[in-house]
Amino acid sequence: MIRISLKDGSQREYPEGITLLQVAQDISPRLAKNAVAGVFNGKLSDLNAGIAEDGELELLGFDDRRGADVYRHSSSHVMAQAVKRLWPETKLAIGPAIDRGFYYDFDSPHTFTPDDFALIEKEISAIIEADYPFVRKELSREEALAYFKARNENFKVELIQALPEEATISIYQQGEFVDLCAGPHVPSTGKLKAIKLMSLAGAYWRGSEKNPMLQRVYATSFPKKSMLDDYLYKLEEAKKRDHRRLGRELGLFTIVDEGPGFPFFMPKGMILRNELENFWREEHRKAGYQEIRTPIILSRELWERSGHWDHYQENMYFTTIDEGDYAIKPMNCPGGMLVYKQNLHSYKELPIRMGELGLVHRHEMSGVLHGLMRVRAFTQDDAHIFMLPEQIIDEIKGVINLVDHFYSLFGFPYHVELSTRPENSMGSDKDWEIATDALIQALDEKGMDYLINEGDGAFYGPKIDFHLQDSLDRTWQCGTIQLDFQMPEKFDLTYIGEDGEKHRPVMIHRVIYGSIERFIGILTEHFSGAFPTWLAPVQVRILPITERQHDYAHQIQAEMEQHNIRVEVDLRSEKIGYKIREGQLQKIPYLLILGDKELEAQSVAVRHRKEGDLGAMPLADFVKRVKTEIEKKSL
């Protein structure tokens, strides 16, 4: 018998060789029905895999990102099977799961068009209906090479040849279709339900323009048609909410040909930006941060010392000053180190929290630039915390609390991911182990669930990333906490300890917005340009019906400006219905309609962006309502 520990802490005994799926069925038929894969002793596995030893088991459904990836990777195999049935001469490249979907790259004599989608989807439905089991088989290198050479699958042969000698080589078969794959997969094709092909693109094999151009078919899949319908609806909604279009229409920001990747902020966009920055400053002041500002251009020697010259050079811009090499900063950290070094510090001063709204520049290829979401110049809301080793856990928890406060204010749910040591890292194994354990301990003490991204940390330390979810269920990685033992060493940062000797501080790098520009892009799409009143560039627009109300309109404007309410008056001789429609298109929270009745009663007729006509009310009551909304930062 073997003993299986489950995620809830319970333990069960089973005969050796029982499969993960059989364990799931024993626990609950519903659990087995919803499960798509499992994690046994830390390894992602097929549900059909047998268990031969004691261990810990976690069963994954589609609602877990790892489960969704398995589900969609299995979907890519089914799509490839359908394509091979329809066009047998097609050669297979790769077919991974991606965010909210999957793709497969094909080399085919047939040129795919959207007209083929219905035909492929019909074949996919037949494969799902047949409910073929996904069968895994491990092969020797020689067997695998012979198998795919015999089938003229040259891309698979190349992949096998690139694998390390000690690598396990596996294939998966469903029906007549066989693919080189590490897995895992769902138990059978019948587990898949709603698959839809989305788009086509060209893609070079292995990302190199020296290699053949392949045809990439993008698709998505869900376990329920209703989930697919909801996704497609939100996809259409996302097109309507495109921040680039709304940015132009609402007069917030623009990108011009003279500065690709370098955004211009218009007056209304600056109001929005300043509100975000003012809120950031106030909350950081309360949390014990001091604000600094460091130069945009610093010498090559500094970037060599920080490690960026060796590890980040391809993303940097350079210049020459007085025959010396300089770089435009891609990150704020080295400047923060120099600020710390300007004074001697005692252990009694620590932790020292220094924040900076720092403009950075990073070289991005023109093909990946996208509005405010991917730019070449952006402002990071950086902060660097210098602390004693025994303060690490409390400081990390303090940053987590601050991140939670910010995201909750904007109505963003979020999930957390922990990224561990990458291949190109600096520092000792011991430092990395201490840093990673500290992040894990802080997350555990906060009672937070988190995913682990092996090898995805920064080159100088492990990190916690916060992925917020917008109103269209898209996720965006914004906040991050990076624990760093390397930079204090490289910059010889010290403090005088209780023993009178010099010691090395530990350091946290962290951001909350991430990039202010990108955060504004996310907010614009999240709210569809209808920002909460406290953020709205124009909070109130006054609409007099005739010239008789113009003086009264200016009187109301002056009253509201005294209360720091952002207000406009529309004095154009247009019909009131036209003015109201335009105010709604501009997403203004409140429109005040002034006619003779309002003038006589010294009141205002209030129209709310969401609630519609609120009727007439005294001006003082309206001002109180708006001020309360702004002060509470209501959504």
Is there a contact between 231 and 68 (Cβ–Cβ < 8 Å)?
A: no
How far from the centroid of its chain's Cα atoms is residue 127's Cα? Answer: 34
**b/e burial code for range 337-350 (CB count within 10 A of at least 16 → b):** bebbeeeebeeeeb
451, burial (CB in 10 Å: exposed 0-12, middle 13-18, buried 19+): middle
Is there a contact between 450 and 443 (Cβ–Cβ < 8 Å)?
A: yes
The tokens of 16 are what?
């050796």
Query: What is the C-alpha to C-alpha distance for residues 223 and 203, in angstroms, rounded to an integer?
Result: 28
Q: Which residues are catalytic?
A: 333, 362, 380, 382, 384, 463, 509
Phi then psi for residue 284, to 5 deg, are -75, -35
Question: Whole-angstrom distance between the N-terminal and C-terminal Cα of the chain?
Answer: 56
Q: Which of 46, 72, 75, 73 has its CA nearest to residue 59?
A: 46
Query: What is the C-alpha to C-alpha distance for residues 124 and 2, in angstroms, rounded to an integer?
Result: 39
Q: Which of 265, 257, 266, 518 has its CA nearest to residue 366?
A: 257
Is there a contact between 169 and 139 (Cβ–Cβ < 8 Å)?
A: yes
The kind and range of the H/E element at 158 are: helix 154-162
Count of other CB atoms within 10 angstroms of residue 298: 17
Residue type for 471, please? S
Is there a contact between 97 and 62 (Cβ–Cβ < 8 Å)?
A: no
The kind and range of the H/E element at 106 are: strand 101-107
Distances (CA, A) of 568 to 223, 322, 583, 601, 619: 50, 51, 11, 22, 16
172 HSE (CA, 13 A, CB side) = 24
Count of other CB atoms within 10 angstroms of residue 122: 11
Is there a contact between 465 and 314 (Cβ–Cβ < 8 Å)?
A: no
Query: What is the C-alpha to C-alpha distance for residues 476 and 467, in angstroms, rounded to an integer?
Result: 5
DSSP 427: S
Count of other CB atoms within 10 angstroms of residue 291: 13
Angle at 333 between CA 330 and CA 339, to 5 degrees: 130
What does 229-240 look like in DSSP terms, one character per residue? HHHHHHHHHHHH
Residue type for 509, please? H
Question: How does strand 91-92 pair with strand 101-107?
Answer: antiparallel
* 89-94 LR contacts (CB < 8 Å, sep 24+): 91/152, 91/153, 91/154, 91/155, 92/153, 92/155, 92/156, 92/179, 93/155, 93/205, 93/214, 94/155, 94/159
Q: Which of 522, 569, 591, 566 has its CA nearest to residue 247?
A: 522
